[in-house]
């Protein structure tokens, strides 16, 4: 008997939404230590949408991989925010097309009437701040998992 695998459809890709701070913490945990090139950030003001194409460590599979002595995995995922009014960043050189960023956390700072700010904290003192009319976030895996190039799981504070 073999274990279920992503390929045979028994292991579903993530497709999660967040409309409050608690939901967003789940997305934050699952996207912690995701890496992405600076070129994979997209801000579409006319659609009020900000998105990142991440290479996400599969935290939800970490214990099973360790137990079964199989490689840790990453997967490409889209982290998207709708109802975005503005985007600001610090510590990010958009002109450096080779820059690779690492996402540490995603937090929501509520304002009035459901509005607020989403703060994406990056390694190396970088940050992205989204002013949102309402919290509307999605994390969706868009590829099959692949072996984590490092072969190791990142440190994950619990």
- Asked if the model's pLDDT at residue 11 lies above 70, the reply is no
Give me 124's structure tokens.
């190396």
pLDDT in tens, 61-104: 988 888 888 899 999 999 999 999 999 999 998 888 899 999 99
pLDDT in tens, 25-57: 999 999 999 999 999 999 999 999 999 999 999
Q: Would you state the pLDDT for residue 49?
A: 98
- pTM of the prediction? 0.88
Q: Would you state the pLDDT for residue 156?
A: 58
34 forms beta bridges with: 103
Q: Where does the chain have alpha helices with state H?
A: 21-31, 62-67
pLDDT in tens, 99-141: 999 999 999 999 999 899 999 999 998 999 999 999 999 999 9
């Amino acid at each position: 008997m073999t274990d279920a695998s992503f390929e045979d459809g028994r292991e579903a890709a993530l497709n999660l939404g967040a409309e409050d701070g608690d939901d967003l913490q789940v997305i934050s945990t699952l996207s912690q230590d995701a890496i992405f090139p600076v070129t994979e950030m997209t801000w579409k003001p006319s659609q009020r949408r900000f998105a990142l194409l991440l290479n996400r460590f599969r935290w939800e599979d970490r214990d099973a991989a360790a137990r079964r002595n199989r490689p840790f995995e990453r997967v490409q995922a889209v982290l998207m925010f709708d109802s975005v009014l503005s985007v600001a960043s610090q510590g990010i050189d958009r002109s450096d097309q080779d820059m690779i960023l690492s996402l540490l956390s995603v937090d929501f700072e509520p304002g009035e009437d459901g509005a607020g700010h989403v703060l994406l904290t990056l390694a190396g003192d970088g940050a992205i701040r989204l002013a949102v009319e309402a919290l509307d976030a999605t994390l969706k895996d868009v590829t099959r998992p692949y072996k984590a190039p490092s072969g190791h799981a990142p440190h994950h504070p619990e």
